[in-house]
């Protein structure tokens, strides 16, 4: 499967599909500005999104790494994810089917179970 978005870490937080969509849209906005930081203030999610515009490879996936510190109705936490450059520039609507979200924590057994459910 060809992924355009890979979430590496969700720390102390869960994100609903609508929150994921909002985060992806904010990331695309940040890419258009070329800046390193953007404030997130959406209906369901608030915080900061930052990047150093570094390209990272995880397996066969290559993308730009982003870090978000967010607050939601479910609590606050950190999200680390990669987005490929084609997806960043695309005007296509985010597709949950072509994305991978791994709910990783500091406990590898719990993380593996959560990732298997996604």
pLDDT at 52: 96
Lowest mean pLDDT among 14-18, 27-31, 57-61, 102-106: 102-106
Q: Domain of 34? A: 5-117
Which among 3-12, 16-25, 41-50 has the top mean pLDDT? 41-50
pTM comes to 0.74
The whole-chain average pLDDT of the chain stands at 77
**C-beta pairs of 64-70 under 8 Å, 24+ apart in sequence:** 64/31, 64/88, 66/27, 66/30, 68/23, 68/40, 70/13, 70/15, 70/23, 70/40, 70/45, 70/46
Kindly report the backbone phi and psi dihedral angles of residue 106, in degrees, each rounded to the nearest multiple of 5, phi listed first. Answer: -75, -15
pLDDT at 102: 54
Query: pLDDT by residue (tens digit) across 30-55?
Result: 999 999 999 999 988 999 999 999 99
Does residue 23 surpass a pLDDT of 80? Answer: yes
Tally the domains of the chain.
1
Does residue 98 surpass a pLDDT of 80? Answer: no
């Amino acid at each position: 499967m060809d992924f355009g978005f890979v979430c590496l870490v969700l720390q102390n937080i869960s994100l609903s599909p609508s929150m994921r969509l909002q985060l992806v849209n904010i990331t695309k906005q940040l890419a258009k500005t070329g800046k390193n930081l953007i404030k997130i203030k959406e209906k369901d999610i608030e915080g900061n999104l930052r990047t150093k515009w570094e390209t990272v490879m995880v397996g066969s996936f290559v993308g730009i790494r982003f870090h978000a510190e967010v607050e939601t109705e479910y609590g606050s936490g950190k999200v680390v994810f990669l987005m490929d450059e084609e997806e960043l520039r695309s005007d296509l609507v985010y597709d949950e089917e072509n994305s991978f979200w791994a709910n990783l924590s500091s406990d590898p057994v719990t993380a593996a179970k959560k990732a298997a459910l996604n």
